[in-house]
Every structure is written in C-alpha cells, then in structure tokens.
Amino acid sequence: MKYEKPAKPRLTGLKYNIPMRYETIQNLSIPKLGFGTWTIGGDSSPDRSRDQRSLTALYSALDLGYTHFDTAEMYAAGRAEELLGQAVRARGIARQNLFITSKVSPEHLTHDGVLHSCEQSLRRLGMDYIDLYLIHWPTAGMKLEDSFRALNTLVRRGQVRHLGVSNFNLKLLERSLALSETPLLTNQVSYSLADREYQQNGVLAYCQQHDILLTAYSPVKPRAIRSLQALQAVAQARQATRQQIALALLTSQARVITIPMSANPQHQAENLAAADIVLTAEEMAQLG
C-alpha cells in the first residue's frame, strides 16, 4: 500500500484557502511542508501535564490539512509518538492519507536495537507501518553496516516503507546510500535562512544530484529573522509574514522540504500556506 495524498486539504475555520504543494520523488508525492512534533508530550522526557495542549495542537494540524508528521522515539521518550497516534485515531484519518516519519535513537543503532526500536515505535503509534524511518543521529563507533542490515530487514518486512538518515555529513550520507537496499529518501538536517551549514558543506547539492530529499528542521529561528531587512522587504512585497518567507526560501528549492512546529492554529495555517509561495530567483538572491 502506498501513501496516497488526499484529493483536497481538510480545511476549516481560519481565513486561509490553503493549497498543498508536494515534492515528487521515487513515485511519492510528499508535502513540501510537514509538522514536527518536538515538544509534543514533553522534551527529552514525558510531561503529561502537556498532553492536552499537545493533543490540541495535533488536532488543529490535522484539521488544517497537514498530512506529513515527523516524530521520533527520542521525543518525550516516546510520548510524542503515542499522542500522534491518539490524535490520528480520534480524528478518524485514513492511514494511507498520512505520511509518518519516525527515528531510531543513536543508542539503539545495533542490529537488534534498530529492530526493537521500530517495533516499539509502531506499538506507540498504534500503526502497522512507518512511511519513513531515519537514523536520528550518527554516533562515534557506530557500525553503520549493522544498522542498515536491520533497516533493510524492516523494509522487506513491510514495517517501514522508506529509509533515511538525519544529521549526516557528506561522507556518512554517501556510505548510507551504498548500504541501503532501497533508494535513500532523505537526510534531515538543521537548515534555515540563518543556518546554511548543510548548504555550505555540500550536502544539499549532493542530495539534489542524487534524488534525495533534504528535510529542514528548525527552519525558522525568530531572533535571526527579526532584524533582516531583506526578509522584511520580500515579506512586505508578498504581503506575507517574515516567517512565511523564511519557510518559502526552503520550500522554493528543489528537493527541499521542511517540518516546522507550532501549537498556535493561526501560525500552523500561516506555515502551511507558506509552502505555496514560490520565490523568484531575484528574491532568493536578495535573501542571500
């Protein structure tokens, strides 16, 4: 069964008529903008006092039409996965209309550790498969061959549809591409107007040349964008917010998608609408 993009975004309430732009890759159509779940259910450990606020944020995102949700076993020690699964069931969303990403933590990168982590993530999500499963962080001394032996097994079993990595430099990305039995789908990295490390170190160009998505996390750093005059100028000309233009800078690039997080329904809607802003070459150059 393949991920099927909904015919229309499920939109309500707010003033935005939100379209949905997709990146088509490896016979998949993946939203240019998804929803990150860091701080859902806690930070590095569960905080059940946040559960209702977290569920409200997830319900709002689902109602607005978000279909790509990014989570990890590391997020609130699995509580984010539990709440995401709970929200999906409560809203009655068909599983095939969602694209779910999760990640295995660096301390679990042994062959058996990867298999066990995936099984636990599936249990917490209450789902039969994960669309995209990533190595969350590389770690010193990891045996990447063992990790990918397990990841490839998960794909063959149908528990995982696609594989990727996160926070990998160019050398590790090249090794991962060689070890994956199926085409590597993404490298998820910190990338924003204020953080160009993975553009400068060649990872972005490599991804674009090898048909790999670069998934940008932490795509907006408010302090960094607040005083940028060029950003403000483009935002005013586009009748958009600075945050929307900062996101559009990413989604306007080939093979780049992004996963911002907000608990505010208005900001969620603005973020989603930002993916429909396609910046011109002149505007991109203006932003540097």
d(CA 113, CA 106): 10
Retrieve residue 256's tokens: 């780049």
Retrieve residue 207's tokens: 């991804």
Catalytic residue among 3, 75, 133, 191: 75
What is the SS3 string spanning 116-134? HHHHHHHHHHCCCCEEEEE
SS3 content of the chain, % helix, strand, coil (to 5): 45, 20, 35
CB 100 within 8 A of CB 90: no
Q: Note if 75 is an active site residue.
A: yes
Q: Which residues make Cβ contacts (< 8 Å) with residue 63, sequence separation at least 6? A: 10, 11, 12, 13, 91
Element (DSSP H or E) covering residue 82: helix 79-91
DSSP string of 147-180, one letter each residue: HHHHHHHHHHHTSEEEEEEES--HHHHHHHHHH-
Active-site residue list: 75
